[in-house]
Amino acid sequence: MSSKRDYYEVLGVSRDVDAGELKSRYRKVALKYHPDRNPGDPKSEELFKEASEAYSVLSDPQKRQIYDQFGHRGLEGMGRGSAGGFEDVFSSFGDIFEDFFGFRTGGRGGRSSARRGSDLRYDLTIDFLEAAFGKEMEIEIEKYETCPTCEGSGARPGTYPETCAQCRGTGQFVRTQGFFSVKSTCPGCRGAGQVIKEHCPQCKGRQRIIVTKRVSIKIPAGVDSGSKLRLTGEGESGVQGGPPGDLYVFINVKPHEFFKRSNADVISTVELTFVQAALGDEITVPTLTGEETLKIPKGTQYADTFRLPGQGIPSLRSGVRGDQIVQVDLKTPKNMSRKQEDLLREFSRLESDKLSKKFKRFFKGGSTQAAK
C-alpha cells in the first residue's frame, strides 16, 4: 500500500477545489518551501517536491479523475485507466515553474538554469511632513547577488561545471515500469544537468552571496501609510543569467502632534478663549509650510470650522494641494481674578435678563392665544 500523503492534504485544499484556488494554494506552498529560499534544508526540498507532484496531478483533469477514483495506485497503472490515460507524474512541472518562478523543468534538454531573482520587501517609516512633500533618501538592504569570484557559475575559478553523468545533461532520470516511463528529477544534479566538482571558495557553489547594499529611493509627495514603491531590478540577482527581482518599499507614516490627514486635506485644532470667540479676533495658525493668519468672526461657536485653501497635502496623481481645515475648541479660563469673575457675573446677569424677557413674551403670547 502506498505511503504517500493524500494530494489534497498536501496542498491543504478540499476535494471540490476549483482550478483557480488550487493554483493559488500551490503557489503559496511552493514559494514557502522552494529550495532557493531554504538552501541546504532537505525537509523543505522534500515538501516542495511533494507539493509539486500533487499539483501536477490535481491540475490535470484526466489525472485528477483517475486519482479521485483509484488514488495513488491508479497513477501507478494499477487502476482501470489505459496506458495512454496519463503520462509521467512530473510532466507538467515545466508549466508550473515557468508560470511561478521564471524557469522550466522537464522537456528536451532538461532544465534551463536561468532563473529570475526573488522580489524583496522593505518596510519604511517616515515622518508626516516627509510623506506630505516627499524626500530622497537611502535605505540599507541585505540580498543575494551574483558571486563576483565565480561570476555565478558556482565553480572554482579556472574550472567549469561538468555535464552530469547520470542524466547526461537532461536533468531528468527515467524509470520504466511495465508499459510506463516515469520521469523524475535527476538525483545526481538535482535537475541542473551539470555537476560542480570544485566549488567556488566564496559562494561554496551556491552561485550567489549575501551582500549589504545601500539603495537610493525617491519618496513622492503625497504618499500615505500603505503606499507601495516598486524599484525595478533592485531585488535579488537571478541565477545563471536570469533577471533580478524587484524591491518593494512599503510606507508607514508617523502621526503628527498637530495635524491629522483626511485624503489630501489636513485637519488641525486651535483653542480660542471665550472672549475671542464672542468678540472675534485674528490669530496665527501653524500650517505645513509655516504660519497663516486666520480671521475669527464674532460669535464663533465650539466645533466651528474654517478652511485655508491650498494648505493641505499634494495629490499623488495631480500634485494639487488640498486644504487645511481648522476646528475650533473653546478654552475655559482658570484661576480668574476677582474682577474677572465680577465681570462674568455681570455678563451672566445681563444674559439672564434677556432670556427672562424672551420667555415672558413667549408665555404672555401663549396665554393670549389660549384665552382666544
Concatenated DSSP letters of 304-355 = -EEEETT-S-B-TTT--B--EEEEEEEEPP-S--HHHHHHHHHHHHHHHHHH
Number of C-beta neighbours around residue 229 at 10 A? 16
Q: Of 319, 317, 279, which is closest to residue 295 (Cα–Cα)?
A: 279
243 & 127 share domain = yes
Half-sphere exposure of 255 (CA within 13 A, CB side): 5
Is residue 301 in a domain? yes
Q: Is 163 helix (H, G, I), strand (E, B) or coil?
A: strand
Q: In the predicted model, what is the mean pLDDT of residues 96-112?
A: 42
15 & 76 share domain = yes
Instruction: Work out the percent of the chain whose per-residue pLDDT is above 70.
Output: 82
Residue 206 has pLDDT above 50, yes or no: yes
> Can you give the pLDDT at residue 157?
93
> Residue 236: which domain range?
114-149+202-252
Which pTM was predicted?
0.59
pLDDT tens sequence across 254-277:
999 999 999 999 999 999 998 899
CA distance 204 to 36: 14
Location of C-alpha cell 514559494? 31
Q: Which helix (H) or strand (E) holds 146?
A: strand 135-146
Give 170-179's long-range contacts (Cβ < 8 A, gap of 24+): 170/108, 170/109, 170/110, 171/105, 171/106, 171/110, 171/111, 172/106, 172/110, 177/76, 177/77, 178/77, 179/77, 179/83
Q: How far is CA 111 from the centre of its chain?
A: 31
CA distance 292 to 296: 13
pLDDT class for 97, splitting at 50, 70, 90?
A: very low
Where do runs of H (alpha helix) occur along the chain? 7-11, 19-33, 42-58, 61-70, 72-73, 93-101, 128-133, 274-279, 338-371
CA distance 265 to 315: 10
The conformational region for residue 142 under phi > 0 = left, psi -120 to 50 = alpha, else beta, is beta
> Can you give the pLDDT at residue 171?
82
Sign of CA dihedral 136, 141, 147, 153: negative
Grid cell for residue 329: 475648541
> Can you give the pLDDT at residue 60?
87
Q: In the predicted model, what is the mean pLDDT of residues 214-240?
A: 94
Averaged confidence pLDDT in the chain: 82
What single-letter DSSP state applies at residue 115? B
19 & 76 share domain = yes
Is the pLDDT higher at 254 or at 153?
254
139 & 19 share domain = no
> Can you give the pLDDT at residue 79?
36
- Number of domains making up the chain: 3
pLDDT class for 113, splitting at 50, 70, 90?
A: low
Residue 19 has pLDDT above 90, yes or no: no
Residue 81 has pLDDT above 60, yes or no: no
Is residue 194 in a domain? no
Grid cell for residue 326: 481648522
Is residue 299 in a domain? yes
Is residue 226 in a domain? yes
> Can you give the pLDDT at residue 191?
79
- Residue 309: phi and psi, rounded to 5, are -60, 140
Q: In the predicted model, what is the mean pLDDT of residues 63-68?
A: 86
9 & 95 share domain = yes
Range in 4-18, 41-55, 341-355 the model is least confident about: 341-355
78 & 118 share domain = no
Directed axis angle between helix 93-101 and helix 42-58, to 10°? 110
| Domain-terminating residue out of 252, 269, 285 | 252
Instruction: Work out the percent of the chain whose per-residue pLDDT is above 90.
Output: 45
20 & 74 share domain = yes
Is residue 367 in a domain? no
pLDDT class for 86, splitting at 50, 70, 90?
A: very low
Residue 370 has pLDDT above 60, yes or no: no
> Can you give the pLDDT at residue 357?
60
Using CB atoms within 10 Å of the CB of residue 176, give its burial: 0 to 12 exposed, 13 to 18 middle, 19+ buried.
Answer: exposed
Grid cell for residue 296: 475669527
* CATH number reported for the structural domain that contains residue 61 in this entry: 1.10.287.110
93 & 22 share domain = yes
Number of C-beta neighbours around residue 292 at 10 A? 14
Location of C-alpha cell 466651528? 304
pLDDT class for 102, splitting at 50, 70, 90?
A: very low
> Can you give the pLDDT at residue 247?
96
Pairing of strands 247-253, 120-126: parallel
Q: In the predicted model, what is the mean pLDDT of residues 15-42?
A: 85
pLDDT class for 248, splitting at 50, 70, 90?
A: very high
248 & 322 share domain = no
Is residue 53 in a domain? yes
pLDDT class for 252, splitting at 50, 70, 90?
A: very high
pLDDT tens sequence across 283-342:
999 999 999 999 999 999 999 999 999 999 999 989 999 999 999 999 888 888 999 888
Is residue 81 in a domain? yes
Q: Is 286 helix (H, G, I), strand (E, B) or coil?
A: strand
140 & 239 share domain = yes
User: What is the residue-wise DSSP string for 256-273?
Assistant: PSS-EEETTEEEEEEEEE
Is residue 189 in a domain? no
* CATH number reported for the structural domain that contains residue 125 in this entry: 2.60.260.20
Grid cell for residue 234: 533592485
Sequence length of the chain is 372
pLDDT class for 39, splitting at 50, 70, 90?
A: confident
279 & 228 share domain = no
37 & 97 share domain = yes
What's the Cα-to-Cα distance from 106 to each of 113, 163, 167, 173, 280, rounded to whole Å?
Answer: 12, 16, 12, 10, 82
CA distance 281 to 296: 5
Grid cell for residue 241: 543569467
